[in-house]
Amino acid sequence: MVQSSVLGFPRIGAQRELKKTTEAYWSGKVSRDELFKVGKEIRANNWKLQKEAGVDVIASNDFSFYDHILDLAVLLNVIPERYTKYELEPIDVLFAMGRGLQRKATETSKAVDVTALEMVKWFDSNYHYVRPTFSTSTEFKLNGSKPIDEYLEAKELGVETRPVILGPVSFLFLGKSDKDSLDLEPITLLEKILPVYAELLEKLAAAGAQSVQIDEPALVLDLPENVQAAFKTAYEFFASKSGLPKITLATYFGTIIPNLDAVKSLPVDALHIDLVRAPEQLDAVLAALQPEQKLSAGVIDGRNIWKSDFAKASEIVNKAIEKLGKDRVVVATSSSLLHTPVDLNNETKLSDEIKDFFSFATQKLDEVVVVAKNVSGEDVKAALEKNAASVKSRAESSITNDESVQKRVSEVDESLGRRAAVFTERSKEQEVEFKLPLFPTTTIGSFPQTKEIRINRNKFTKGTITKEEYEKFIEEEIERVVRFQEEIGLDVLVHGEPERNDMVQYFGEQLKGFAFTQNGWVQSYGSRYVRPPIIVGDVSRPAPMSVKESVYAQSITTKPLKGMLTGPITILRWSFPRVDASQKTQAFQLGLALRDEVNDLEAAGIKIIQVDEPALREGLPLRAGQERQDYYEWAAESFRIATAGVKNSTQIHSHFCYSDLDPNHIKALDADVVSIEFSKKDDPNYIREFSDYPNHAGLGLFDIHSPRIPSKEEFIQKIATILEVYPIEKFWINPDCGLKTRGWEETKASLTNMVEAAKFYREKYAKKD
Ligand code: MET
Ligand SMILES: [Zn+2]
Q: What is the pLDDT of residues 535-593, one digit of tens each?
A: 999 999 999 999 999 999 999 999 999 999 999 999 999 999 999 899 999 999 999 99
Last residue of a domain, one of 71, 94, 116: 116
Does 710 score more than 80 pLDDT?
yes
Q: Which atom of ligand 1 is nearest to the CA of 614?
A: 2
638 and 718 housed in the same domain: yes
Q: According to the model, what pLDDT value does residue 732 have?
A: 96
Residue owning the nearest CA to atom 4 of ligand 1: 738
Task: Kindly state whether residue 523 falls inside one of the protein's structural domains.
Answer: no
**CATH code where residue 218 lies:** 3.20.20.210
**Interatomic CA distance for residues 690 and 499, integer angstroms:** 34
- The mean per-residue pLDDT over the stretch 123-147 comes to 96
Looking at per-residue pLDDT, the higher value among 615 and 187 belongs to 187
Question: Which of 371, 393, 252, 272 lies closest to 313 in space, CA to CA?
Answer: 371
**Interatomic CA distance for residues 354 and 183, integer angstroms:** 53
189 and 297 housed in the same domain: yes
Handedness of CA 519, 523, 525, 526 (dihedral sign): positive
133 and 196 housed in the same domain: yes
Q: According to the model, what pLDDT value does residue 690 have?
A: 73
Pocket of ligand 1 (CB under 6 A): 444-446, 503, 564, 612, 614, 655, 657, 737-738, 740
- Per-residue pLDDT tens over the stretch 329-352: 999 999 999 999 999 999 999 999
- Per-residue pLDDT tens over the stretch 414-450: 999 999 999 999 999 999 999 999 999 999 999 999 9
- Whether residue 539 contacts residue 589, with contact meaning beta carbons closer than 8 Å, is answered with yes
Does 658 score more than 80 pLDDT?
no
284 and 264 housed in the same domain: yes
What separation in Å is there between the alpha carbon of 297 and the centre of ligand 2? Answer: 36
What separation in Å is there between the alpha carbon of 473 and the centre of ligand 2? Answer: 26
What separation in Å is there between the alpha carbon of 710 and the centre of ligand 1? Answer: 20
111 and 124 housed in the same domain: no
What separation in Å is there between the alpha carbon of 289 and the centre of ligand 2? Answer: 43
**Interatomic CA distance for residues 320 and 317, integer angstroms:** 5
Task: Kindly state whether residue 309 falls inside one of the protein's structural domains.
Answer: yes
68 and 104 housed in the same domain: no
Cα distances (Å, whole numbers) of residue 353 to 307, 340, 346, 349, 400: 13, 20, 16, 11, 12
Known binding-site positions: 19, 126, 444-446, 497, 574, 612, 655, 657, 677, 737
User: Which of 453, 655, 679, 751 best tests ligand 1's pocket when mutated (most atoms within 8 Å of CB)?
Assistant: 655
Q: Which domain holds residue 99?
A: 81-116
Task: Kindly state whether residue 533 falls inside one of the protein's structural domains.
Answer: no
Terminal-residue alpha carbon distance, the chain: 80
Task: Kindly state whether residue 222 falls inside one of the protein's structural domains.
Answer: yes
Number of domains in the chain: 3
Ligand nearest to the CA of 610: 1
Q: According to the model, what pLDDT value does residue 682 have?
A: 65
What separation in Å is there between the alpha carbon of 522 and the centre of ligand 1? Answer: 18
Question: Which of 749, 718, 744 lies closest to 731 in space, CA to CA?
Answer: 718
Ligand nearest to the CA of 503: 1
Residue owning the nearest CA to atom 9 of ligand 1: 738
- The mean per-residue pLDDT over the stretch 137-166 comes to 98
What separation in Å is there between the alpha carbon of 616 and the centre of ligand 2? Answer: 11
Does 662 score more than 60 pLDDT?
yes
Which ranges of 157-213 does DSSP label H, i.e. alpha helix?
A: 168-173, 190-207
Q: According to the model, what pLDDT value does residue 400 have?
A: 87
Question: Please, which residues have CB within 8 angstroms of residue 752's CB and are 6 or more apart in sequence?
Answer: 488
Predicted complex ipTM: 0.99
124 and 108 housed in the same domain: no
- The mean per-residue pLDDT over the stretch 126-140 comes to 96
504 and 358 housed in the same domain: no
Last residue of a domain, one of 116, 140, 168: 116
Last residue of a domain, one of 91, 116, 141: 116
218 and 98 housed in the same domain: no
pTM of this structure: 0.90
**Interatomic CA distance for residues 548 and 342, integer angstroms:** 35
- Whether residue 602 contacts residue 650, with contact meaning beta carbons closer than 8 Å, is answered with yes
Q: According to the model, what pLDDT value does residue 768 have?
A: 55
Q: Among this protein's residues, is 665 annotated catalytic? A: no
Q: According to the model, what pLDDT value does residue 3 have?
A: 98
For the purposes of burial, counting CB atoms within 10 Å of the CB of 595, is it exposed (0-12), middle (13-18) or buried (19 or more)? buried
Residues 339, 665, 696, 705: which is the catalytic one? 705
Q: Where are the beta strands (DSSP E) in 462-574?
A: 512-515, 522-525, 528-530, 534-540, 562-566
Ligand nearest to the CA of 653: 1
Please report which confidence band the pLDDT of residue 740 belongs to, taking 50, 70 and 90 as the band edges. very high
Known binding-site positions for L-methionine: 444-446, 497, 612
Handedness of CA 352, 357, 360, 365 (dihedral sign): positive
130 and 251 housed in the same domain: yes
User: Which of 120, 443, 444, 703 best tests ligand 1's pocket when mutated (most atoms within 8 Å of CB)?
Assistant: 444
652 and 716 housed in the same domain: yes
Does 769 score more than 60 pLDDT?
no
Task: Kindly state whether residue 654 falls inside one of the protein's structural domains.
Answer: yes
Residue owning the nearest CA to atom 2 of ligand 1: 614
Instruction: Give the CA dihedral 59, 362, 50, 98, nearest 10 degrees.
Output: 30
Q: Which atom of ligand 1 is nearest to the CA of 738?
A: 8
700 and 564 housed in the same domain: yes
Task: Kindly state whether residue 406 falls inside one of the protein's structural domains.
Answer: no
**CA neighbours within 13 Å on the CB side: how many for 266?**
31
Task: Kindly state whether residue 345 falls inside one of the protein's structural domains.
Answer: yes
**Interatomic CA distance for residues 11 and 96, integer angstroms:** 20
Task: Kindly state whether residue 435 falls inside one of the protein's structural domains.
Answer: yes
Cα distances (Å, whole numbers) of residue 552 to 144, 153, 277, 483, 563: 55, 56, 45, 13, 11
Please report which confidence band the pLDDT of residue 659 belongs to, taking 50, 70 and 90 as the band edges. low
- Per-residue pLDDT tens over the stretch 470-510: 999 999 999 999 999 999 999 999 999 999 988 998 999 99
Please report which confidence band the pLDDT of residue 131 belongs to, taking 50, 70 and 90 as the band edges. very high
Residue 210 sits at φ, ψ, to 5 deg, of -80, -40
